[in-house]
Amino acid sequence: MLGWQRSLDHTIEFALSSSEGERRTDKVILEMPMSKDSPIRTMIVGLGRIGWQHHIKAAAESPHFEVTAAVDTLAERRDEAEATYGCATFETLEEGLTSGLAELAVICTRSLDHCEHTVKSLEAGLHAFVEKPAAMSAEEMDRMIAAAQKAGLVVTVNQSARRSPDLRFIREVIDSGALGNVFWIRRSALCFYRRHDWQMSKEYGGGILGNAGVHLIDQILRLADAPVFDVWGDVKHTGASSGDADDFARASIRTTDGRLLEVLTTYTCMFDQPGWLVAGSTGTLTIERPQTDQAKSHAVLKYFDPKKAPQRPVEGPVPVDRLYRHPEELPWITWEGQPVPKRDFPDWYEALYRAIRYGEEPLVTPESARQTLWVIDQVRDKSQWKY
């Protein structure tokens, strides 16, 4: 058998060759019930780093998904997918969409292509699971949301950093009230890495803001307990990395309740800061994540119970004893260790299955992904360094 194709009416066409080399096509009608228990026939679009190392494996290993197709422009990658997963492969997305082999497209192409590839998949009748960044702008995300609504299909985004134990631990600490009024949260990810792949080219939608930055901004927005009030930002190409895309990004997000959320990330800084700093009126939390082993996060939480603290009235206009700072003893409580949240995070592909088959809300709603992209739009707009 030289090739095969499943059409939308659930038939399979086998292209056979005789001993004389003459080709013929036989169409076989198969019963293919599409019950809620049926595995979701999945096409991986883009077999690069994330597509090959994560998504095709995750889909193939899940009992709820069946990898039936893959798309990549490189023949050697298509051959590898056929040999490893036994799926059909296509050079272009259009060929994959017209094959009728899939009901879900997992979009793992370059950032610049995400919107076009997602919209085309939705218009062809496929649900879409998109790698981050979901799009290059909130406006592009609006196109994707509109296409999904029109088709009555699911579109969701692999904002995988939401499952971070650090983030979920912080959320639990804030919700506990131990830190009092949380007014400032800073998220940092610094390293020195002279990056030189496509992610450093504006032509392909590269840049640290849309790569690491989209994760960090999406994370910190999960810790906003009020709407965003305004955004300031700065991005630049420092000159250490190759290409012309940004390798430094900073965002400052103020919410309507006065909380300041800050993100700082760059490939051009040898010395790191704590990955997280959360400051409140009754305590502070920091989490350090070593660059060499990011699985070894270490948290330090120091706080006090204001009900057990002595009163601290304002002393008036005349400094007592001419002192600049009056010492005091507070009932500090200190805890340190690995930040382990109390609740597990759902499996991404299990949640995707339930969103498609049972209409449950996906782990990442397209509206929440749009908010992250809108903040990124504001950061780029406020920056002196323009695209």
Burial of 22 (0-12, 13-18, 19+ CB in 10 A): exposed
Position 152 scores a pLDDT of 98
Is 15's pLDDT higher than 50? no
Position 296 scores a pLDDT of 82
As a whole number, the mean pLDDT across the chain is: 89
pLDDT band at 328 (very low <50, low <70, confident <90, very high): confident
The span from the first CA to the last CA of the chain, in angstroms, equals 50
Q: What is the pLDDT of residues 237-275, one digit of tens each?
A: 999 999 999 999 999 999 999 999 999 999 999 998 999
pLDDT band at 88 (very low <50, low <70, confident <90, very high): very high
Q: What region does 204 belong to: left with phi over 0, alpha with psi -120 to 50, or beta?
A: alpha
DSSP 8-state symbol, 311: P
Q: Which residues contact 176 (CB under 8 A, 6 or more apart)?
A: none
Amino acid at residue number 297: S
CA–CA separation, 279 vs 187, rounded Å?
12
Amino acid at residue number 284: T
pLDDT band at 69 (very low <50, low <70, confident <90, very high): very high
Is 36's pLDDT higher than 90? no
Position 25 scores a pLDDT of 35
CA–CA separation, 64 vs 43, rounded Å?
14
CA–CA separation, 337 vs 166, rounded Å?
12
Q: What is the pLDDT of residues 174-191, one digit of tens each?
A: 999 999 999 999 999 999
| Rounded mean pLDDT, 210-223 | 96
| DSSP secondary structure, 154-218, as one string | -EEEE-GGGG-HHHHHHHHHHHHTTT-SEEEEEEEEE-B----SGGG-GGGT--TTTTHHHHHHH
| Rounded mean pLDDT, 342-364 | 96
Position 291 scores a pLDDT of 60
Neighbours of 238 (CB within 10 A): 12
Instruction: Record the pTM.
Output: 0.87
Measured at the CA of 255, the angle between CA 249 and CA 260, to 5 degrees, comes to: 55
Structure tokens at 286: 């920091």
Domains within the chain, CATH numbers bracketed = 33-158 (3.40.50.720), 162-309+329-345 (3.30.360.10)
CA distances from 19 to 16, 22, 25, 28 (A): 10, 7, 15, 22
